[in-house]
Structure 1
């Protein structure tokens, strides 16, 4: 199984994401923002960082990278895609996920270990969790406040598209404590906390984040795209 990890100018956590993919048992394939080819990967991770220096808006420039055109097309055909922090912002800018990520309400960069509750365990990236399970993974962002209209938020609730919520103090003021969402099909997930920083007790607060990477390996078969309905419960 091959998990591609995209590097944009300004990416910081691409190496960590590649390590997490290897820990899960996958082959990590480094993908370059200017190369539209995905080189046969079975899933893609858009890592955290500050792509293009966060100019204009976070992720607003990265969404136009050549690799994103291919990822967007393949995601609509079922390719599993996980956007972490800046990757989440890119997915929203690319309209692969709804809503937007804005400045933290307190206007401070927040960096801490965060308790998160898994709300939906049927996505390609959360199948190894149980609904209601609480995990601890780091959060580190300055623009992680998820916002959307009341209509959108109600729709996400009704469709089960809220993948995870913050437990305890909301670190950025996200509406309805949203930490992660998915698209309707369940193959595209955006998460603001960093599961790739919670795969090894030597460097993280837990190994809870590893489940995001092991989940996708069970959800797909090489050469085949998977939607929510096909992910084992």
Structure 2
């Protein structure tokens, strides 16, 4: 999804957060979760022609598509419970995306595009220079995921120290894709593993690593082979 359509960028950013809600609800960590969310967003945005602002205004309709696609992709769900959790979680996900891309201007979309570029070693610095800090919103989302998972909610964990650069776990996924010659199965597995890593990094309050994992997830979803090769360096 190109930067010339910022609405599409927002849907790309929304994807992993919806997928994490599905994962925590179902207790499943399979490629079908990512596919179910992609299918739902593709219908809502691609086929129905709805915008990101429509998604915020018509959350019940978006939830209909998500639950329908979850069932079609055989994700184990309890429908009414999932609907309630999505009603609670979607506004929190929207807050994160809105903070990352506060309007539909090309200027902000290009800033975010730069931050998510595979050559940027510390996207947080670039975003914070522009006054964008999503750590409070990520913490709220972390608390929500803990609640629906039945985990004990403790105090905010200390920021995990991270060396500048791509976390080794994320880099390993990029390398594994190269070794597999970017097979369809490997790409599906990579999406699943990246969602698990994003979940873990949110739990660890490791915002910088969240960004690196989202960067690679974005490349995998776009099937950007050259981008993944550059990411793996």
Give yes or no for TM over 0.5. no
Q: Which has the larger radius of gyration?
A: 2
TM-score (norm 2): 0.30
TM-score (norm 1): 0.30
Structure having the higher helix fraction is: 2
Structure having the higher strand fraction is: 1
